[in-house]
Structure 1
Amino acid sequence: MYFKKIFLAIALIGLVVAAYFAYFVYSAMFVPNTNFNNSEAYVFIESGATYEEVRADLEPLLKDIETFDALANRKKYTTNIKAGKFRIAKDMNNNDIINSIRSNNIPIKVAFNNQHSIPHLAGRIATQIEADSTSLVKAMLDETFMTQNGFSEQTVLGMYLPNSYEVFWNTTADGFRDRMLKEYNRYWNDTRLEKARKIGLTPEKVMALASIVHEESKQRTEQPRIAGVYINRLNNKWPLQADPTLKFAAYQLPKYKNTVIKRVLNVHKEIDSPYNTYKNLGLPPGLIAMPDISAIDAVLNYETHKYFYFAADANKPGFHKFAKTLSQHNQNAREYQRYLTNKGIRR
């Protein structure tokens, strides 16, 4: 009788322990454990992050961090951290949360527009992905990469086509650069390569001309006509005489650092630079800025006409007047110079 009581007591204790364990397992795995009111929250886990760092990010989002710890240990998540952007939905349980942050890295949209240099581009991208601007600049200007893919420091900016792209937040600097090379090669399909060949330009030279066209006008309807002017000049071995190239050349000089040139003057035309298209025939050695895809397509599909000149239209800001003769162009240019003078813009 005595042994039966001991056995019964042990059995009862076992049931209590089993019940407690079952309750603990249930609480750890299946009870909702979020502590926010929105429908979802996101966590960004850095490459090489420790469990303690992940835990610190998760703790404000969870009701009970200790049950999460217990399950994370049991599922070996604490020693198998994954980097990326992860979604936690309201009322998720610990099991679902761990599964999400272990295997559901969410792509993000990275977007950039017309950056004027590789450092500017790197700074823009660094605000959107994990890689910092220093590592991005290093990857983008890697000499081996540029040489192997036919780029130089002057032309490599053209590899980055302004658009939005879906990537993972934890994409490395090299990974981002390599992805942009794929996009560049995809853009330069057989059709576009054939158009460039017929114009007599390589893709790199198309990009250089497109950068000038884009700096001249942001008006998509006008860009093919401007491109046609420059093609006419190139085909007739005339200097391009593109004012944006003078500005670019000037900005490379200490004298013009941190300044904005609003009016191109004769003194700018005397700058000794391969980018001075008043002094040098042909295209400059590289891009002066990152062109929109519209400007690239404008070069490839330039308007055929007999214009050799254009000047900004004082009566229609953002647009230009085109001319076939120098006398007509000089008249258009004088009108615009008077407009600048009346506005008090002298340099």
Structure 2
Amino acid sequence: MLRRILKLLVFLVAVLAMLAVAIIPAVAIVSIISSPSSGKVQVKLGSPVELYYGLYLWLHQDELQKPLLPAGTPVPFTVYPGESPYSIAERLEEAGIISSAKLFYAYIRYNNLGHTLEAGDYALSPGMTIPDIVNVLQHGRPREITITVPEGWRMEQLADYLEKQGIMSAKEFLAWAKVDLWVERYNFLKDVPEGATLEGYLFPDTYRLPFPASPQDLITRMLGNFEAKVTPEMRARASELGFTLHQVVTLASIVEKEAVLPEERPLIAGVFLNRLRKNMYLQADPTVQYAKGYNKATGRWWSPITIEEATSIQSPYNTYLNLGLPPGPICSPGLESIKAVLYPAQTDYLFFFSADGSSHIFSKTYEEHLEKQKQYGK
């Protein structure tokens, strides 16, 4: 009932506003507004026209502060020179970026922001609120997108994400993620076997890209970031340990998938290095998960494995069946996992298992390992 009364009031104010424009433009009355800086409701003195738009915004303040979708793929949008605010509002609604052209226009008109909107190309998302969109359009920023690549993603995961976000084709990205296309430009790739992919070298981080972006745009940034973060000193350290950089990145990728707690990375790296020295199988579950690939049943790339799978999946990446390191990395390791391999904890540990899904229990002998598993009900 209250909302109906308020809507009627808005209608009456609209009539009053039209009369005021023609007869009493100087009348000042109390008005409700939406602040352009915060989008929150405030109160001020203003004209009947301001009261109309203020009441309209107040009635729709929830919609004003709520994006059309919880999240959305960036959409290219152009504001043309001399374009009116209402034309912009209509095209935003048509593009599926906002829910209401009228609400967008009311926000612009009431806060007197029409003259502040700059012509240009933008990347807008239905996951943005109207105040967010107005803020972007005021600053004339070029179209760009931000991509965050987490540690531990395999290359296909990234490609799938890029395609689902409407950023680029997964197939096209994977076609460009070949070592042979980049080795002449980036010397650190010289140890990677010919014909291999860039698995492990697409450095996990947050990247800003032009929109639309090409695979070359992203891969150039990721390889450049790897080159900057994995310093010459770190590469020299790999040589001191008797490893190639490719071997370090490969082991670091396994550590990345095994470790949950940051402080355990050097311990886990130490275990694997000890096993390599003793010519033991690494028996790292993530390598089998990598070989297993995407699980349609679970919709996951990294599904838990059974002991039967560990001993039956035929792949050079299966470290239950193959001695030494797998042929290459299984994911993109973060800097801390790479450092853990270069500077491992010096222990006699040869075994570990997950105690609670995060922390691990370490042992020096197989008998000790079995006994601790019993203690933890494993």
Same fold by TM-score greater than 0.5 = yes
Deviation string for 1:40-98 (max 9, x for gaps)? Answer: 9xxx785xxxxxx8469996x72468xxxxxxxxxxxxxxxxxxxxxx9973538x723
- Answer yes or no: is 1:109 the counterpart of 2:146: yes
State how 1:34-73 maps to structure 2 within 5 Å. 38=36, 46=76, 54=78, 62-63=85-86
- Cα gap change, 1:287 to 1:171, in 2 (>3 Å): same
Question: How far does residue 126 in structure 1 lie from its aligned partner after superposition?
Answer: 4.5
- Cα gap change, 1:113 to 1:99, in 2 (>3 Å): closer
Are the aligned partners of 2:79 and 2:120 in contact in 1 as well (CA < 8 Å)?
no
Alignment gaps of 5+ in structure 1: 1-35, 47-52, 66-87, 340-347
Query: What SS does the aligned partner of 1:321 have?
Result: strand
Matched residue type, 1:299: V
- Cα gap change, 1:275 to 1:92, in 2 (>3 Å): same
**Higher alpha-carbon Rg:** 1
Are the aligned partners of 1:155 and 1:285 in contact in 2 as well (CA < 8 Å)?
no
Query: What SS does the aligned partner of 2:283 have?
Result: coil
Alignment gaps of 5+ in structure 2: 1-33, 39-73, 89-107, 123-138
The equivalent position to 1:323 in structure 2, one of 363, 367, 371, is 363
Q: Root-mean-square deviation (CA), in Å?
A: 4.0
Counting aligned pairs with the same residue, the percent is 26
Are the aligned partners of 1:110 and 1:128 in contact in 2 as well (CA < 8 Å)?
no
Higher helix share goes to which structure? Answer: 1
Query: What SS does the aligned partner of 2:332 have?
Result: coil
Question: How far does residue 259 in structure 1 lie from its aligned partner after superposition?
Answer: 9.0
State how 1:239-318 maps to structure 2 within 5 Å. 239-251=281-293, 261-262=303-304, 264-313=306-355, 316-318=356-358
- Answer yes or no: is 1:97 the counterpart of 2:112: no
Question: How far does residue 306 in structure 1 lie from its aligned partner after superposition?
Answer: 1.1
State how 1:131-170 maps to structure 2 within 5 Å. 131-141=168-178, 143-145=180-182, 149=186, 150=189, 151=192, 156-170=198-212
- Answer yes or no: is 1:187 the counterpart of 2:187: no
**Partners of 2:178 and 2:212 in 1: CA distance:** 20
Question: How far does residue 184 in structure 1 lie from its aligned partner after superposition?
Answer: 1.2
- Cα gap change, 1:230 to 1:92, in 2 (>3 Å): same
Q: Give the alignment's TM-score, normalised by structure 1.
A: 0.63
Matched residue type, 1:98: A
- Cα gap change, 1:220 to 1:175, in 2 (>3 Å): same
Are the aligned partners of 1:250 and 1:256 in contact in 2 as well (CA < 8 Å)?
no
Per chain length, whose mean CA-contact separation is higher, i.e. which structure has more relative contact order (CA < 8 Å, sep 6+)?
1
Matched residue type, 1:221: E
Matched residue type, 2:113: D
- Cα gap change, 1:330 to 1:266, in 2 (>3 Å): farther
How many pairs align? 269
The equivalent position to 2:159 in structure 1, one of 119, 122, 135, is 122
Query: What SS does the aligned partner of 1:262 have?
Result: coil
Question: How far does residue 111 in structure 1 lie from its aligned partner after superposition?
Answer: 0.9
Q: Give the alignment's TM-score, normalised by structure 2.
A: 0.59
Question: How far does residue 134 in structure 1 lie from its aligned partner after superposition?
Answer: 3.5
